Structure 1
Amino acid sequence: MAGTTTETVFNIFRSMESGPAAPSSTATAQAWLDHHSRSLGFYIDGKFVHLAERKSFSVLDSKGGQVCSVLCAEEGDVSLCASSAVSGYKSWSLLSGYQRAKVLLRLVGVLGLHAQCLSELSQLCVTACSPPSLIRLLQFYSSWAQLRDTLVSGWSPLGVVAVITSDESSIYSLMLKVLPALAMGNSVIIVPGRSAAPPALLLSQLFSAAGLPAGVLNVLTGSDVTFGVKVAQDPSIRYVTYSGNKPDGLALLQASAGLGVPVAVSPCIGATCPFIVFESADINSAVDEVIEAAFKKKSEVHWVLCVQESVYENVVDRLKLRLAGLKCVSLQSEADRSLVDAAVQEAQQQGAVLIQPCAAPPSGAQYPPTVLCGAAPASPCVVSPAPGPLLPLMTFRCHKEAVAVGNHSPHGLAASIWTEDLTLALETAKNLSVGSVWVNSHSVCDPCLPVCAHKDGGSCTDGGQEGLYQFLHPSVSSPPPRSSPVSLDYSKFGTEVSPAIIPDPTSSPPSYLQFVGGKACKSVSGCSVAVRSPGGSSVLGLRPEGGRKDVRNAVEAGIKDQPGWQKKSPSARALSLHSLAKGVEAKRRDLAASVSNQTGVSADEADKEVEQSITRLALWAAYCDKVQGGSLPMPKSGSAFSFPEALGVVGIVLPDESPLLSMVTLLGAAIASGNAVVMVPSQKHPLPTIAFIQVLQSSDLPAGLVNIVTGNRDQLTAALANHSVIRSIWYWGSAEGCQYLQYTCTRPLKTLRLVSQRDQDGSVDWTQPSPSFLEELWRNAVQWKSVWIPTA
């Protein structure tokens, strides 16, 4: 036909032009908003609540127009909502797993009927939402609601859970926390960000329509994250989980310090993730997907393109070809435009070369997709990227350098690897310090995949069976009691001076040493403190008074030997733990004497504690090769699997009760998982741990794997909290110490296990711990990695 132009397949793949988008309509969402007079209240006790004399905020669309107004809750509203959630929890937790599963499955049908309204409302509010993804979430967690008592036996729901998100979080991130909490039998109070507030309110209404009992799911809205703190302060809340940007998450952690409620943070917004392209990759596919991920999709993360030097020019040529014709991307505000301009100028000053489809407009909240070729690894556009369409490009020469460049980000959230060499892909995935790895793909989300950011990327695991445990506690124990923050000067915590030793010519007590880097040694300060008998009438010995430098030396020793210990096979680690148990048997008499002298128990009871310690080490040896993850049932064509990895260096401040048995229980959980440890003995009963040094000296453990630093508990706790390498701290101590750790362990973010001995003295039976308690310890000692490999 005259005038007809025919595009060849070759030209289509070269241009990768998209067809015209179908016209979108928001009529259904507009009708729902009109039904509510475009003024949305709270959702409490199964119905909308409109309270007079409440301030409100406006939800804006992508063009700055007002979509609706949402009320800002006050403290009295929090109490009303919490009371409703407590009543809802009582009725919801008493239902069988089958009954809870039926409610969640009914919601699948309800959501299918109203998916268009939800999708349109999310589009209006400029928040990401995919109804098919939410339906998949519902199907997955309804099954876990059915199987909780069978496959997660020995665990009970926490109670009332607060789920808080920042303004940028998607509905999927919100529901990834709400649905498992409900499936495990908890009630939930949602505190959504501004853009997610209307869709969250609509979803709550749909939950009620599906038969969810009143009060089980409630929504409170506030002006900013400070309102989330008010919710966390309510004494009915048993757990707080947050998803969003990191500054708001850290503010929530610090503001809730001392409340006695666990707070888990998933700072998924703004993380930098490597997009690694090897020379063996399908370059066309890799370039197309990185442009899709960086410029065409609204993403919660920033990508950094890492290209092998041998294909650098090829990748740059294809980037120029694919970028041609792309339009400017809208930014949130002109303030963001200023940040983007500054980041681009600084990158250019450091030698980066720009690739842009067009020149940036002189003003306005728009900017063209931009590739920064040759960006420096330390450049702000790589470390802390501006909120705009910027894609830094760095190069590497070999596999080891690719891993080093990929691990440069402090966030450790995810990575995308592109290569046709499966061995290379798996080796790279294993060595990257990230929680999710996608091979020849990116941004693959499914509820069966655990999401656990490594390094400074978060303090909890979402998704998969692993993500259920944050909403459960061992049935044999109760959730920690709530408390009130104490007046604490954080800058002076742990700075008190230990009492001086007054010489006594009538006695010469033995002097003990601490254990650092495989050697028994004095403290750096050279000072010692008396260890007294249970009644305080006599001095049993002198222990070293360790400090910050001793902790630093211990951590350095742990860093040196932990990677080699982690790479050992599980069976090899098990053999070392069995050898450690034999060492305890060989020193049985000395260890029993130290327990008896220090705690005042009888010789028989002390010997029994040594026997139980031997058994406990053997138990952890058996754990080494039994819980190792496995394949995951993804609905897509491909292979997915997850596996646990060691945290790194763990700091443990030991409890006073059963000093030998509790020590080997916590030590075994940490090193069986591949970690190195820095242990601080009980300040009240340090001798059994000091006597254990004899066992360590004759063991075959790597020299720096286990370190024991004695001294003032608060001083050493402060040293552990402020060390940037320590990934996790397990603390048994004062309420002030718990509050200090919650407030301080935010930069970098550490995972914490805190027990206030004032409130929970004797709550753990170390002689007969439940299987769920031991499993909880093991789960506290690992972080999860998931890998997805498509096959079609």
Structure 2
Amino acid sequence: MADSTNPTVYEIFESMEQGPAAATSTPTAQAWLDHHSRSLGFFMDGKFILPADRRSLSLTDSKGGVVCSTVCAEDADVSQCASSAAAGWKSWSSLSCSQRAKALLRLVGVLGLHGQCVSELCALCEASCSPTALVRLLQYYSSWAQLRDTLIPGWTPVGVVVVVSSDDCSLYSLMLKVLPALAMGNSVIVVPGRSAAPPTLLLAQLFTGAGLPAGALNILTGSDVTLGAKVSRNPDVRLIAYCGNKQDGLALCKASAGMGVPVSVSSCVGATCPFIIFESADIDSAVDEVIQIAFKKKEVHWVLCVQESVSDSVVARLKLRMANIKSVPLSSDADRVLVDAAVQEALQQGATLVQPCGVSPGARYPPTVLCGAAPSSPYVVTPPPGPLLPLLMFRSNTEAVLLGNHSPHGHAASIWTEDLTLALETAKSLSVGSVWVNSSSVSDPCFPVSGHKDSGTGTDGGQEGLYQFLRPSFSSPLPRPSPVSLEYSKFGTEAAQVVIPDSTDGASIPQSYPQFVGGKACKSVSGCSVAVQAPGGDSVLAFCPDGGRKDVRNAVEAAIKVQPGWMKKSPSARAQSLYSLAKGLESRRKEVSASVGAQLGVPAEEADREVELSVGRLNVWAAYCDKVQGGSPPMTQSGAALSFPEPLGVVGIVLPDNAPLLSMVTVLGAAIATGNAVVMVPSQRFPLPALAFVQVLQSSDLPAGLVNIITGNRDQLTVALANHSVIKAIWYWGSAQGCQYLQHTCTSPLKTLRLSWQQDGEGRGAAPDWAQPHPSLMEDLWRNAVQWKSVWIPTA
């Protein structure tokens, strides 16, 4: 019965406030923590380890009470954990796919028994993840463990995977990395953030009890994410997978630079996501969803974008719905200072406030809508940690897309409209990984989602998300390089090689080749040239342009102009262009073969063989164009889902030394077949085959600027590519120092990297045998050239 303090059901429906919340109780989680004396250590080799004399960190709840303490790992702990993971990988990967699937499925029953403890511990530590969501993850990835060799032939697990999360990352985001890595046969070392550490340790205990071999899953706690880089120094570690906020992800990339370990980053915390309401939307439903998601403590920040014709209606409904919402607690007084500063800045810029109640002192603040915010304001681009919702207005669909893409993040977007055509056109144009139509925050492991822009470089979910934990079976891991003391500001600044005339006989002057920028054969901006040595290095074979930063700038400007149009071409149209390019190479076979033979000093038959293989490789990529185009993932709830690959944009490619023509057309075909534009740097030692290919490009029907070839010093051009903000990805074959420089530098903005270091001066190393058309090689290149987007459309 209602009394004077509790409203009736009728009153709640009239005011549409949330109603009294039930008091939370966590007796099972408290008992588990008490069993461990509220001091949690590590989990290695299938058991808990609590070493003495270790520094500890306290975890507090939302009210400031101490939940437990976790210890910080030292070098001895890191070494012990890496050894445990290496042994665990041998036992776990030796099991059959069926045996691994059964082990993961047994966890579903274990979670049914202990789901209450997991749920309570997640609530206590504010590491959101329901047992139901974990069960769904286990069911999905156990089936992939069963089908790995059937549906993903030609691939094998990478080995030991380090999964790292930031302090503010949820347990669900963490397990979205851990479970697929285990399902593919890898062993995992988890370095969880502070809030996710206790439930992760509990899950490791449950996993081992369900039959996971000792050492297959290990937990190591520390003070920050750079502990993951310390673990990765072990030679058995082959991949770092990170999820969390962008700042910690960049710190991890820099700390692990030079270790020869790829880093997959998913910046799922702190991203700014657009919530777009068109005039054709159900306004009441859209406003209800805004109230549900905008002011609660979530991993992302929302920016409300409303069509101008319905802005007054939206604001009026927001005022009505927010009338009885109470102030929201902030994490600290420092957050309150940031919120106050953002509100004052908005008022100075002419924004108006919608608040349900007055502002009170302390670490609390009322939910606030900042109407009339400017898109470029700092509190819109990088909002403070508080219940602030900027409201931007737009007139047309084009303006809506511009506002949605204004953020440096590309995590997700929510679109509200009853016009399905408008929804799909907008979803296609937004540079984000997930799009929810008339809904928000829908997640399922069958969705393949890539981080766009600064939201990451990896893909999670679906079959596409499994490949980061696999490598082609034909390739074998190389010994990893060790980080060197590299002065990053001086990398690539060495003086160019001096060219001195050595003959007065005009007939013997070597030929000078042009480079290819913006569809034109041209000299470098500097006007300088470098000498190309003949085989054996005893004479000058030719001269090629000495390209630099300005040449890269011109090439990127040309590429960015043409890439959107090339991306919108139909797959069959792109295929015809590639077929035409292959015919052009075939028609100039004699000239290109001569350049290959002269450059490499090989017999004419061998040079002609490489040209023949190159023609065939272009035909293969032409056939690829319209064969792999995404699909419709099966949904566990009512609705329809679409997933499709999108091009990265402008890709910088630093080519290997071996097979200079065949390697070039192989990676070139992968990039442009998927809709990208490229800026290529040929091998510094063997550039002539690429320059001979310029004549083929000139006679092709590829748009001018789609393919650019710049010759010169490899390190200098690598620096220029790394520091250009428009380039979205870099594929690099070169020195270990170059790989280290790129990992350290390509963080602002974040670039997708595909790095392979060459072991010796002959060009041997991580580059594959380009002459062998392994299906997994082609698929690996194709997947490196795309990013995935998922769109969910509810039907009920």
TM-score range, shorter chain: over 0.9
* Alpha-carbon contact 2:733-2:767 (below 8 Å) kept: no
Counterpart code for 1:369: P
Q: Deviations over 1:611-632 (max 9, x none)?
A: 1000000000011001110000
Q: Deviations over 1:760-790 (max 9, x none)?
A: 5375111113111110000000000000000
The whole-number CA distance in structure 2 between the counterparts of 1:2 and 1:651 is 67
Aligned pairs (5 A) from 1:270-349: 270-296=270-296, 298-349=297-348
SS across alignment from 1:162 = strand
Residue in 2 that maps onto 1:621: 622
Q: Indicate if the aligned counterparts of 1:14 and 1:321 stay in contact, CA closer than 8 A.
A: no
8 A Cα contact 2:12 2:19, kept in partner? no
Match of 1:770 in 2: 774
Q: Distance in 2 between matches of 1:248 and 1:7?
A: 47
CA contact (8 A) 2:518 2:555 kept: yes
Of residues 449, 456, 464, the one that matches 2:454 is 456
Match of 1:483 in 2: 481
Contact kept? 1:451, 1:461, Cα under 8 Å: yes
Alignment correspondent of 2:198: 198
Contact kept, 8 Å, 2:656 with 2:767, in 1: the verdict is no
Contact 1:669–1:781 (Cα < 8 Å) also in 2: yes
Residue in 2 that maps onto 1:558: 559
Offset at residue 344 of structure 1 (A): 1.0
Match of 2:434 in 1: 436
Distance 2:792 2:476 in 1: 37
8 Å Cα contact 2:46/2:215 also seen in 1: yes
Q: CA deviation at 1:531?
A: 1.2
Correspondence for 2:544 = 543
Distance 1:715 1:147 in 2: 46
Partners of 1:505 and 1:385 lie apart in 2 by: 68
Distance 1:3 1:15, change over 3 A: closer
Q: Which residue number corresponds to residue 783 of structure 1?
A: 787
Is residue 151 from structure 1 mapped to residue 151 from structure 2 by the alignment?
Answer: yes
Q: Please tell me whether residue 412 in structure 1 is matched to residue 410 in structure 2.
A: yes
Instruction: Give 1:597's aligned residue.
Output: 598
Equivalent residues in 2 for 1:529-540, closer than 5 Å = 529-540=530-541
The code of the aligned residue for 1:165 comes to S
Shift of 1:19: 3.5
SS at match of 1:536: coil
One-letter code aligned to 2:774 = S
Segments of 5+ residues of structure 1 without an aligned counterpart are none
In structure 2, do the counterparts of structure 1 residues 512 and 71 end up closer, same or farther at CA, with 3 Å as the change threshold? same
**Letter of the 1:730 counterpart:** W
Structure 1, 449-458 or 726-735: larger mean CA deviation: 449-458
- Give, in angstroms, the shift of residue 13 of structure 1: 5.5
User: 1:141, 1:179 within 8 Å by CA — same for their partners in 2?
Assistant: yes
CA deviations over 1:81-138 (Å, ceiling 9, x no partner): 1111111100100111111011111101101111111111111112212111111000
SS at match of 1:441: coil
Conserved? CA contact 1:477–1:763, under 8 Å: no
Quote the RMSD (CA, aligned, Å): 1.6
SS at match of 1:249: helix
Matches within 5 A, 1:498-647: 498-503=496-501, 504-506=503-505, 507-647=508-648
For residues 19-43 of structure 1, what are the alpha-carbon distances to aligned partners after superposition, in whole Å with 9 as ceiling and x for unaligned?
Answer: 4333321111111111111111111
Aligned to 1:755: 756
Structure 1 counterpart of 2:546, which letter?
Answer: E
* Identity among equivalent pairs (%): 74
Structure 2: how far apart are the matches of 1:693 and 1:423? 42
Kindly indicate whether the alpha-carbon contact (under 8 Å) linking 2:640 and 2:793 is maintained by their aligned counterparts in 1.
Answer: yes
Letter in 1 for 2:338: L
- For residues 449 and 356 of structure 2, the distance between their equivalents in structure 1, rounded to whole angstroms, comes to 35
Partner residue in 2 for 1:496? 494
CA 762–753 in structure 1, closer or farther in 2 if over 3 Å, else same: closer
C-alpha displacement at 1:6, in angstroms?
Answer: 11
User: 1: distance between equivalents of 2:731 and 2:330?
Assistant: 43
For the 8 Å contact 2:478–2:766, the answer to whether it is kept is no
Residues 1:686 and 2:687 are matched in the alignment: yes
How far apart, in 2, do the equivalents of 1:636 and 1:591 lie? Answer: 56
TM-score (norm. length: structure 1) = 0.98
Q: Is the partner of 1:190 in helix, strand or coil?
A: strand
Q: Name the counterpart of 2:72.
A: 72
8 Å Cα contact 2:73-2:222 kept in structure 1: yes
Structure-1 separation of matches of 2:326 and 2:650: 47
The CA deviation at 1:8 is 9.4
Partner of 2:469: 471
Q: Which runs of 5+ in 2 are unaligned?
A: none
Q: Which residue of 2 aligns with 1:58?
A: 58
Q: How does 1:649-660 map to 2 (within 5 A)?
A: 649-660=650-661
TM-score, with length taken from structure 2? 0.97
CA contact (8 A) 2:559 2:706 kept: yes
> Partner of 1:388: helix, strand, or coil?
coil
Tell me if structure 2 keeps the 8 A contact 1:612–1:767. Answer: yes
Distance 1:480 1:703 in 2: 39
How far apart, in 1, do the equivalents of 2:14 and 2:488 lie? 60
- Residue 431 of structure 1: CA displacement? 0.5
SS at match of 1:695: helix
2:486 aligned counterpart, secondary structure: coil
Partner of 1:446: 444
Distance 1:3 1:260 in 2: 66
- Whole-Å separation in 2 of the counterparts to 1:252 and 1:6: 50
Asked whether the equivalents of residues 204 and 217 of structure 1 are also in contact (C-alpha less than 8 Å), the reply is yes
CA displacement 1:523-548 (0-9 Å, x = unmatched): 10000111121112222211011100
* Counterpart residue type for residue 359 of structure 1: G
What's the CA shift string for 1:713-748, capped at 9, x where partnerless?
A: 011000000000000000111111111101100000
Q: Aligned with 1:148: secondary structure?
A: helix
Amino acid at match of 1:436: S
CA displacement at 1:15 relative to structure 2: 2.6
Measured after TM superposition, the shift of residue 2 of structure 1 is: 13
Moved over 6 A (4+): 1-9
Distance 1:669 1:763, change over 3 A: closer
Greater displacement, 20-29 / 108-117: 20-29
Q: 1:59 to 1:561 in 2, by over 3 A?
A: same
Superposition deviation, residue 236 in structure 1: 2.2
**Contact kept? 2:433, 2:450, Cα under 8 Å:** yes
Deviation digits for residues 423-456 of structure 1 (CA, Å, limit 9, x no counterpart): 0000000001111000000010100011211112
The CA distance in 1 between the partners of 2:559 and 2:97, in whole Å, is 44
CA contact (8 A) 2:12 2:18 kept: no
Q: Supply the AA of the counterpart residue of 2:620.
A: L
Query: 2: distance between equivalents of 1:661 and 1:202?
Result: 51
Closer, same or farther in 2 for the Cα pair 1:2/1:791, shift >3 Å? closer
Q: Does the 8 Å CA contact 2:17/2:325 hold for their aligned counterparts? A: no
Correspondences of 1:353-368 after superposition (within 5 Å) = 353-362=352-361, 364-368=362-366
Alignment coverage as a number of residue pairs: 789
* 1: CA distance, partners of 2:69 / 2:509: 76
Q: C-alpha distance in 2, partners of 1:134/1:598? A: 57
Q: Which residue of 2 aligns with 1:29?
A: 29
- One-letter code of the match for 1:275? F
CA gap of 1:6–1:109, structure 2 versus 1, over 3 A, is closer
| 1:590 aligned counterpart, secondary structure | helix
How far the C-alpha of 1:475 sits from its partner, in A, is 0.5
Contact 2:599–2:688 under 8 Å retained in 1: yes
| DSSP 3-state at the match of 1:674 | coil
Counterpart Cα distance in 2 of 1:737 and 1:379: 37
